[in-house]
Amino acid sequence: MEDKKANIIAITSVIFLITIIIISRVVLDLSKSFFLIVGAAVAGIFAVIVGYFIRRHLRNRRRMMETRLASEGKELRIEYSFLRKVAGLPTKFRYKELEEITDNWKSMIGKGASGCVYKGIMKDGTAVAVKRIEHDEERGEKAFRSEIAAIASVQHVNLVRLLGYCIHNNMRFLVYEFITNGSLASWIFSSGRSNCVSGCLSWRLRSAVALDVAKALAYLHNDCRSKVLHLDVKPENILLDENHRAIVSDFGLSKLMSRDQSRVLTTLRGTKGYLAPEWLLDLGVTEKSDVFSYGMVLLEMIGGRRNVTVIDTGGGGGGGADRSKRKFQYFPKIVTEKMKAGRIMEVVDQRLLDHGGIDEKEVRKLVHVALWCVQEKVRRRPSMVEVVKWLEGRVAVEEPPETQMIVVDLLSIDDDEEGGNRGEGQDGNKRKKPRVVARVASQLNGCLGTNTNSLSSKSFSYSMSIISPR
């Protein structure tokens, strides 16, 4: 547009100067004044023509440079994009692209504490899962950064692959590869389906999944520059691909831990039933906290049931309104008792037993591994590298030592609270709380002295809110 204006001005100027010359010739004839005007007009016409060619040359040169820079920039973008893909780094998406990929957020495939997950199809036909983080701005940003930091640069066959991300206003999005068979929870917990062919993972596949998850956690804890603590290991965060290979996902609560750190202090978050005792008591977390969660998941895979459940002891059909008729069941304690009694097969998922073909030695091995992992004392728990060796059969698993079952102590207090009006009452129970939790803390740490009272009151409320069943 500017070039067109300049050309019009130049032509208009030349025509104007020629017109001046013609008018001067008619009016002034061949006088001295006429020749002065002609000289000035010719000089002006020459200047306009020279200016036009100089401008044209500069314009052509600029266009050549812009074309060259655009070509080089395109090559750099292609090269950068290629290198990011080779390195496995995530791509930045535009919000409009995500709307097109998910067809305006029509297909929601999951919803969790951190947000909703939508299925999408990219232009090349690749299926993806788009996670929309729905916390408030501060927590959402924290979860977003934690997930990016933990998973963006790691490469492992049993870890979910982060393809990209998007920041739009206060919203945060993460784009993952789509895992076809959903979460492990839908394959090990009964959902009304009566057979093991469609909806119940076989014993062989459960063993394979246990090994896959152990390898993924061992990689995060030992083979990354900084240790990656997942801190939310549970069946819902373990996905199964088309070959029922386990893929560990959801790093929204993860923490990076340097090699010279012994533990990380963090606010109590996570999922009921899977948090390690030291985290419940606010003593900090380590990679052994993930080991505890893994052990709890392994027990759930063996038994096909949640580790902490509530049973109604009232025997009536009046519903669950009467809390005094409810009682907690803690599956790890049941497993320990069955193992002592020599009836270890009784803890196995009944659907698997009905299907047959389960080796008691294999069951005993997995139970031993799980009970080693859920030891209350952190130093007794194995590393995930040791767990992998046990599961692969490279090292024999010894029988685990007895554990105090701390959660049982805490649950017993809750039972007493429900029956407080019938027995010694609330006062007696209030006296019992600090003693039990202080004893628990001393078993875990051994160095808690003057702080046990403050620890008790805070930790008990934390503990009960977390270990209570879903």
**Cα Rg for the chain, rounded, in angstroms?**
36
The DSSP 8-state label assigned to residue 98 in this structure reads H
Confidence of residue 237 (pLDDT cuts 50, 70, 90): very high
CA dist., res. 57 & res. 82, Å (int): 37
> In the chain, what are the domain boundaries?
2-71, 91-177, 185-467
CA dist., res. 386 & res. 394, Å (int): 10
> What is the token pair recorded at 71?
């070509």
Give pLDDT, residue 427: 53
Confidence of residue 246 (pLDDT cuts 50, 70, 90): very high
Amino acid symbol at 7: N
pLDDT (tens digit per residue) in 438-459: 555 555 554 433 444 445 445 5
Of 110 and 209, more confident = 209
CA dist., res. 210 & res. 51, Å (int): 79
Told to judge if 415 belongs to the known catalytic residues of this protein, a careful annotator would answer no
The CATH class, in words, for 185-467 is mainly alpha
What's the whole-number average pLDDT of the chain? 79
CA dist., res. 445 & res. 363, Å (int): 32
> At how many degrees (to 10) do helices 331-340 and 287-303 cross?
70
Secondary structure tally for the chain: helices H, strands E? 15, 12
Q: Indicate if the pLDDT at residue 55 is higher than 90.
A: no
Residue ranges in 394-424 assigned as alpha helix (H):
406-418
Give pLDDT, residue 269: 74
Would you call 90 helix, strand, or coil by DSSP? coil
Say if residue 131 carries a ligand binding annotation.
yes
Cα 415 to the center of its chain, rounded Å? 35
Amino acid symbol at 342: G
CA dist., res. 376 & res. 381, Å (int): 8
Query: Mean pLDDT across the stretch 3-27?
Result: 80
Would you call 159 helix, strand, or coil by DSSP? strand
Residue ranges in 374-419 assigned as alpha helix (H):
384-392, 406-418
Percent of the chain with pLDDT over 90: 36
Strands (E), 215-287: 227-229, 238-240, 246-248, 255-257
Which of 458, 250, 200 lies closest to 353, judged by CA? 200
Q: At which residue do the structure tokens 């032509």 appear?
A: 11
> Which one is catalytic: 3, 103, 212, 232?
232
pLDDT (tens digit per residue) in 256-292: 888 888 788 777 777 778 888 888 887 889 999 999 9
The CATH class, in words, for 91-177 is alpha beta
Strands (E), 7-159: 91-92, 108-111, 115-121, 127-133
CB 200 within 8 A of CB 185: no
Would you call 238 helix, strand, or coil by DSSP? strand
- The half-sphere exposure of 349 on its side-chain side, counting CA atoms within 13 A, is 28
Of 73 and 362, more confident = 362
Selection from 303-307, 407-411, 447-451 with the highest mean pLDDT: 303-307
